[in-house]
Amino acid sequence: MDFRRVKEYFSWLYYQYQIISCCAVLEPWERSMFNTILLTIFAMVVYTAYVFIPIHIRLAWEFFSKICGYQSTISN
């Protein structure tokens, strides 16, 4: 793929985002507020997943290893 096709694809994706989220009918200041709030929520979800999913996986591993009788080598 050449650069122009990639650029066209990303502009098509952005157009789809605007149509699906109804950003196309918003004023510029409303669009920037909407995008800022959406980006903030997305960043918080990614951060929460990064911090808490490994902890939950470790706790689930310990729980199921005790049920199955497997001695865990994970030390606290």
Half-sphere exposure of 66 (CA within 13 A, CB side): 6
pLDDT at 13: 95
pLDDT at 68: 85
Q: In this structure, what token pair is assigned to residue 24?
A: 């196309």
Sequence-separated (6 or more) residues with CB below 8 Å from residue 6: none
Domain ranges of the chain: 3-74
C-alpha 52/C-alpha 58 separation (Å) is 10
pLDDT at 71: 64
Radius of gyration for the alpha carbons in the chain, expressed in angstroms and rounded: 22
pLDDT digits 0-9 by tens, 16-73? 999 998 888 999 999 999 999 999 999 999 999 999 999 999 999 989 888 887 765 5
Q: With a cut of 80, say whether residue 10 has pLDDT above it.
A: yes
pLDDT at 9: 95
Question: Residue 76 — very low, low, confident or very high, per pLDDT cuts 50/70/90?
Answer: low
